[in-house]
Amino acid sequence: MARIYPLFSSSKGNSTFIGTEKGGILIDCGVSFKRLSAALEVNRLPLSAVQAVFITHEHSDHVAGLKMLTKKTGLPVYGQKRTLQKLCDEDKISPESPVIDITGLNIPCAGSEVSCFNTPHDTIQSCGYRIHTDDDKYCAVCTDLGHITPEVDNALTGCRLVLIEANYDEEMLRRGPYPLYLKERILSPNGHLSNNSCAEQIGRLISRGSTHFILGHLSQDNNLPHIADQTVQKSLVQFTRGKDYLLGVAPVETQGGAVIF
């Protein structure tokens, strides 16, 4: 039965495990090897369950622990070509680990098939991942994007579960302490997804049959879990929570627990 474990989710560190204690994949490794190992242990997942790492982009909150993880395990690292090249050039991946460009491919791994889709973000390359599990269900992890493109929309459509970015509350960001240039970067089409934009996309996905949603990558400075949750729920007045859809917020750091979908 398919499970997703949001191990870490914030602007300061991201990592998600999809699978079971017998095997699965890790999307991003934005925390230290020590913290990742502890998070897996809390969820009763052995390190050996991680059979590959899929990287969305090269920002530190997604790759901070990648070098040590690959040094300790030699796990294969998947991602887009330019992202992988940059990580290799900056010595963020151990030479012991195979590096595989996933662009345009469906990669069989740990009983699932994984493909990537482009996301608009201010980095050399950025992507989300769509996973087809061994029990014939689809899920997706989609964070770090300034807006929903047709490619993103298409990739998320048909997924039973979507972990999607709800990075900031617009009023909190505009009134907050960030310098103007940083606010403009976050608000840009290549920045991050707001609670309101996230809510609009979730509404579209529910109307097409998606039922499970996890709000992720919340800013610890410009958002709060209850604000993100309320913003999304208020926009979905035509649907009934608990009947038409299930909604949760990914924790900054797991205390244990998975979402079965």
Q: What is the DSSP string of 174-222?
A: HHSSS-HHHHHHHHSTTS--BHHHHHHHHHHHHHTT--EEEEE---TTT
- Which amino acid makes up residue 59? H
Average pLDDT over residues 55-62: 98
DSSP code, position 49: G
What distances in angstroms separate CA 236 from CA 31, 198, 207, 215, one per listed residue? 34, 11, 10, 15
pLDDT bin (cut points 50, 70, 90) of residue 2 is confident
Length of the chain: 261
- Which amino acid makes up residue 229? D
Closest among 101, 108, 193 to 156, alpha carbons compared: 193
Q: What is the pTM of this model?
A: 0.97
How far apart (Å, rounded) are the C-alpha atoms in residues 129 and 119? Answer: 10
Handedness of CA 61, 139, 131, 69 (dihedral sign): positive
Q: What is the mean pLDDT of the chain?
A: 97
Instruction: Specify the residue for token string 């790759």.
Output: 63
Contact 254, 214 (CB under 8 A): no
Average pLDDT over residues 142-150: 98
**Portion of the chain with pLDDT greater than 90, in percent:** 99
